[in-house]
Amino acid sequence: QLQLVESGGGSVQSGGSLRLSCEASGHTFSSYCVGWFRQAPGKEREGVVVINGRNGETLYTESVKGRFTISQDNAKNTLYLQMNSLKPEDTAMYYCAAVDPRIFPCNFRRPGDFGSWGQGTQVTVSS
């Protein structure tokens, strides 16, 4: 099972940018489906984006398309989320997670399938 550690969160003004990082250990990142989820206070956890390390396919939630970009550096075993044009509604705790795509679909709409989770990093966007 992967161990995941997120970093890069912070406070920015609306329209600003942040880059989140998720460093993995325990297994090779490239063979997993990995992604980002977020949870705002009082709201359910929401899938943001996933990438299938086996074929490079990505899936973004509609609200972040054109603003967020997922990428991974397999040499560093690190996942990134570049977030541009941030909005107050992006405020949440952001988590990275991983699942074996040979066993479960690589789909953020199925968070229960993801067996490895990081501790989260807080993103706060002020208007």
The region, left, alpha or beta by phi > 0 then psi within -120 to 50, assigned to residue 29 is alpha
Among 87, 107, 88, residue whose Cα is nearest residue 97: 107
- In this prediction, residue 77 carries a pLDDT of 93
Q: Distance between CA atoms of 59 and 87, rounded to whole angstroms?
A: 20
- In this prediction, residue 107 carries a pLDDT of 95
- In this prediction, residue 11 carries a pLDDT of 98
- In this prediction, residue 29 carries a pLDDT of 80
Mean pLDDT, contiguous 10-residue spans, the chain (127 residues): 94 98 89 96 96 94 98 94 98 97 94 96 97
Q: Distance between CA atoms of 106 and 35, rounded to whole angstroms?
A: 9
